[in-house]
Structures are given as structure tokens and as C-alpha cells.
Structure 1
């Protein structure tokens, strides 16, 4: 039994979404890929994939096993490439990234990255949940905030100020808070995936806030604040259009906390493939030219 072949078939079936697509990718017949994955399940004595006429889906055991298999295949690939000194980065690279940051700053640079590294396939996983790099098979994650997991390493690629804002219509109706403590008596729009929860951090103080609207999207927070549903907090670049056209107003500027870092994180003990290093270098260079990620100045207001 060629377990390396079985693992390769399983991984490509997961990544392409079907046995037929995996077969085309690997140059094997579809029945062979299906048979190899079944043989792997029989060897492990566990079901790895739910099969249907429409798609494949990982079982909970399959999710754990895929993460391990992906690490093994990546390690083999990188070990081999290390003996080929002049090889270009290649293979599948999985990168997790928060939604707002991805859409505004990462996606615009993807075409140039793929054009420069023609052998790399980029799987950009855009979502705001915490992605466990150790167990979920991604090589890199772009994260906002300070690194707290000792199993990871981080490269800082930028930073921004987190500002407090409200629409001028809201402030005209409910008044303007002059200190962070006064936020307790205001309706605040809660971003439910914020690491600190309903605790908003300012310079030298933290305030527990509340509000009648909660949402798991930073863009939705911005739209809700613009609609007058309450006061919001978030990256200054998220609100720059509203601040520029005068519909939004900065609050509590003298209490703004120190800049929040933007970092690329990876597993400390994992061998990073060339494609991951190339991506980190590329994004760091791209972000260094973005003023919104490299300044402590306030966004423009009218």
C-alpha cells in the first residue's frame, strides 16, 4: 500500500471538492482516486468524507486528518525543494484573512502576486473567525492585534489606529460623549467577533459597552453606524469615506489607544515552504506603501 499516494489523493479531493477534479489534477482516473481514498479510510478504520452526488464534505475525523496530511505533504514538498536551489515557489498556499482587511488591502494585490509567482496556487480563506493554524491546515494567517499564542510566530506588516465614530445624525439626537465612561449611556453597535468582546479599549482605560444591535461583520458595523443605529469602534480606514464626506464624526480622539498591529502569523515549529515566505515578503512590501496601515494620523474630516 502506497500510503503517500493515498494521502495525496485524499488531500486533493478535499481541496478540489470532488474525486473527478482531483483525478484531473493528479493525472489519475476518477475511479482510482475514489478507490484510493476508500482504501485510506479502510486502513484508518474511520470515515473521512461524506459523499453525495453534489459534493464531498469532511467528517470531523476527516478535518483533523486533513490538517495532519497537509502538513506531511507540505513538509515533503519543501524538503525536496530545499535540494533544488534555484526552484521557484510553487504549490498550494492557504492563507486566512479577516474580511474587511482582505477586501480593502489584500485582494487588490492578488493579481500581481500570482503573476510574479506563476507556480503558486493561492487559497485565500476570507472570514472573521479565529483560524487554528495548527489543526486546520493553513500555513499563514493575517491577524489584527497582538500575538498571544506561544505556539505561533508573527511578522508585523502594518498597524492602524482603532477609532470611535458616530453619525452626525445620531449625535444630534443623543448627544456627544466626552469621555469613554459616557459610552455606557449610549447605544453602541457591537461587533461580536471583536477579541475583547463588548469591552472597548482606550488609552489608559477599558469600558464595557452595550447596544441593541450586534453583528459579526465589520462592514455591517460601519453601515449601521452610518445609518445612525449607534456608536461604533474600528479601524480608521474602515470609516474614512464617511469621515471624508462628513456623515461620520470622530469621537474621543484624545483617548485613542496605541496603534493596533497587523501581523502574519505561522506555526513556530512548522517548516515554512518557499511559497509562504514569498507571500509574506510580498504582502509586507505591499502594505508598506499603504498610508492607512503605516500612520498614526487621524483620517480626514470636513
Structure 2
């Protein structure tokens, strides 16, 4: 087990490029972490890391060793899980996702999963900016939109309806748009969901209308864009789940409902590919099942 810990520590030092950061993750002091990795190198008879005052970088041998070790650690995790009585998961699983999607959609779906695995620590990183998944030790990331340029293993988990919304107070002042082209004369609130290419594309009767709009107010999180729309700053394009409460309470109203907008695809990204831990795969399996159940219920209502 000591050797396994040394291997896990090495992978974190190599990915983070820092003994101090890896030591904090593992509950060690920086000298302890450095000594454990040095002992690992001595035992292997090979230098795995190049150490400078600015960074710690894997050597050529260290890079090859890192890729092989991560696969081995994942296999060990799967082997342990396969023989564990009751199949309960343990340890830590780190998942990143957009704030609104996590808060309003995914977190409410996790109670059964956490009940089944009481010894598993589920850590959610909620933010709309895209993390460096490997460096930040993210086991799985839930992302919205196109998968173009993805270097991780990707799995589709569902789609999210998109809506155009504004506050009644804003509409009282500016009037409601009757067609997509009318949006050009309105104040626009920009956010992550409204910045993707399909955010302002409308379909009706087989015809597509795309409107190129520049925001008058913008924010880097969907929560902020929804809050700005509720405050009457303008019209925003967002996901239905991001503004579900505001719509239910009447703080926002949907616009241009005669036009259909493309749903937003949601995907799970596994940065470690085949080396993904069992807990991350189980978490995504659970979310896919729950999202499908909710979608089926919504269609039946």
C-alpha cells in the first residue's frame, strides 16, 4: 500500500507540476512529498522529474511512466471495486460542471447515489469556466455545447432546452419582441449560454433565422446572466434549467415561444480515458439514468 501511495503521489506531482500542491492534496508536507518521490526514483533507478525553481516537469521516462501508472491505478481501483461486498464505492470522486446546471439540475439528482455509496466523497467543482481537467485532478467534467476539439473520452448524457427570457419590468419599458429580428432593438444580457453559436438561432415552419447580437451587459456565469435579466437589464438566451425558478415565480417570462431553438447538448468528459476511476463512471451512469427519467416524465406531463 505504501508503494501504491507513492505512485499516486507521483501522478499528482507530475500533473500539477508542483510538490507543494500535490503535498497539500495528499495531506503531507512538501519535504515529505519530495522524499517519497525521490525514494520512488531511487527504487526505479530512473529520474522521473526535472526539478527547477519554477516548475516540476516529467522527464521523457517520467512521462511514459506516468501514462502507464495511471492505467495501473485505475485497474487497481476497478479490481478493488469488483470484490467489495455490496459494491459500495469509496474514496474521492471529483466532478466539474457549470454552476447553474450543477445547482438546479444535477445536485438534486444525487441523493440516491450518495445513499448507496456512503463512504464515497463526491466533490463538485462548480464554475462556468473550463478547468484543466488533468491538472485539477477532475475525474469527470459535465460540459454543455459542442464537443469539437475535445481530447478526452466523451459520453453524451442528455440535452437541455434553451429559452429566451426577460423580466416583466423590462418588457413594460421596452416592449416584447414579436420576431427574432426585433431583438436587434433590445438590450441584450450576455452569459456563457448565450455566447455559443446556436444561442440566437430560431426555427419555424422549416425556416431558420439567425440573429447576430452584441450584449449590452455580460457576465461569465449563467447565474449572473439570469440575475441580470431578473433585474431588468435586458433579454438573455439561457438554458431552461438555469432560469426554471425565475420562470415559475414570474420573475422572468419566455419570449418568442412560436419559434423553436436548438437544445443544448450535455456531455461527460473523462480526461483520463481508459484510466477513469470506477466511481466517475458510476456517477455518470447514475446521472444519465436520472436525466432520462426526468425527460420522460416531462414528455408525459
In structure 2, what is the Cα distance between the partners aligned to 1:268 and 1:77? 11
Query: 1:79 pairs with 75, 98, 106, which one?
Result: 75
Residue matched to 2:44: none
How far is the alpha carbon of 1:228 from its aligned partner?
0.8
Is the partner of 1:177 in helix, strand or coil? coil
Please name the residue that 2:214 is paired with: 210
Report if the CA contact (8 A) 1:67-1:135 is conserved.
no
* 1:3 positional shift: 8.7
CA contact (8 A) 2:193 2:238 kept: no
Q: Which residue of the partner structure matches residue 190 of structure 2?
A: 190
Deviations 1:168-225, CA, capped at 9 Å, x for gaps? 1111211211111221121100115755279623222321112321111111111111
For the Cα contact (< 8 Å) 1:146–1:261, is it kept in 2?
yes
Give the 3-state SS of the residue equivalent to 2:258 in structure 1: helix
Cross-structure match for 1:22? 28
Q: CA deviation at 1:5?
A: 5.6
TM-score by length of 1: 0.74
Gaps of 5+ in 1: 24-29, 51-58
Query: 1:206-257: CA deviations, max 9, x gaps?
Result: 2111232111111111111111100011112222333233332211112221
Q: Distance in 1 between matches of 2:70 and 2:118?
A: 18
For 1:154, the equivalent position in structure 2 comes to: 154
Q: Count residues with an aligned counterpart.
A: 277
2:158/2:291 contact within 8 Å kept: yes
Match in the other structure for 1:26: none
- Partner-residue secondary structure (3-state), 1:210: coil
- Specify the alignment match of 1:241 in structure 2: 245
Contact 2:105 2:241 in 1 (8 A): no
Aligned residue in 2 for 1:173: 173
| 2:279 counterpart of 1:275 | yes
Q: Which runs of 5+ in 2 are unaligned?
A: 14-19, 42-46
Give CA deviations for 1:7-46 in whole Å, capped at 9, x if unaligned.
4335386467267x237xxxxxx85334335778985232
For the structure 1 residues 253 and 160, does the alpha-carbon distance in structure 2 shift closer, same or farther, using more than 3 Å as the test?
Answer: same
> Do 2:78 and 2:277's aligned partners in 1 also have CA atoms closer than 8 Å?
no
Partners of 2:250 and 2:64 in 1: CA distance: 51
Aligned equivalent of 1:144 = 144
Contact 2:193 2:199 in 1 (8 A): no
Give the TM-score normalised by the residue count of structure 2: 0.74
Report Cα offsets for 1:121-177 as digits up to 9, x if no partner.
333221111234466542311122243245444333332211001111111211211
Assess if the C-alpha contact under 8 Å between 2:166 and 2:234 holds in 1.
Answer: yes
Q: Is the 2:92–2:123 Cα contact (8 Å) retained in structure 1?
A: yes
Report 1:1-302 matches (<5 A). 6-10=6-10, 11=12, 14=21, 17=24, 21-22=27-28, 32-37=32-37, 44-47=49-52, 59=55, 61=57, 73-83=69-79, 85-87=82-84, 88=87, 89-133=89-133, 136-149=136-149, 151-192=151-192, 194-196=194-196, 200-203=200-203, 204-267=208-271, 269-291=273-295, 295=298
